[in-house]
């Protein structure tokens, strides 16, 4: 049985859409800063906000300079991280291994 869709008032819907737009923009800026080396991988992994926490690990690695789609997937597989895992779902050791692996690059 499908779960019922919550009914939102027009104000609630507008607020949710505005929040989604803001989060997408912030995520895009964060990943662009990572690619431009204005932020380090450790900086992003240490952030404690919705923008960083809800970013997929695959998108994070793809934003690193010199790492493309294939390389990002390969690194995630080697580290035992699924492609759909979000940053908030990474364990302490997975975070440490990512930082260790990519801090020597660039």
Q: How much is the pLDDT for 104?
A: 61
C-alpha 83, offset from chain centre: 11
Q: Is residue 9 part of a domain?
A: no
CATH number of residue 57's parent domain: 1.10.8.50
Report the mean per-residue pLDDT for the chain. Answer: 91
Is residue 89 scored above 70 in pLDDT?
yes
pTM of the predicted model as reported, rounded to 2 decimal places: 0.81
- The average pLDDT across 55-80 equals 93
Cα distance between residue 73 and residue 48, in whole Å: 25
Q: Is residue 7 part of a domain?
A: no
pLDDT digits (tens, 9 = 90+) for 24-55: 999 999 999 999 999 999 999 999 888 899 99
Residue of 56, 90, 95, 92 whose CA lies nearest to 73: 56
Helix axes 92-103, 69-79, angle to 10 degrees: 130
Q: Is residue 12 part of a domain?
A: no
Domain of 70 in residue numbering reads as: 17-103
- The average pLDDT across 4-13 equals 86
Q: Is residue 88 part of a domain?
A: yes
Number of domains within the chain? 1
């Amino acid at each position: 049985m499908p779960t019922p869709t919550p009914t939102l008032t027009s104000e609630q819907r507008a607020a949710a859409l505005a929040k989604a737009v803001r989060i997408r923009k912030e995520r895009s800026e964060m990943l662009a800063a990572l690619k431009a080396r204005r932020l380090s991988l450790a900086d992003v992994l240490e952030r404690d906000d919705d923008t960083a926490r809800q970013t997929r690990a695959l998108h994070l690695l793809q934003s690193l300079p010199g790492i493309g789609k294939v390389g990002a997937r390969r690194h995630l597989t080697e580290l035992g991280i699924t492609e759909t895992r979000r940053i908030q779902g990474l364990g302490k050791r997975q975070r440490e291994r990512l930082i260790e692996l990519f801090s020597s690059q660039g």
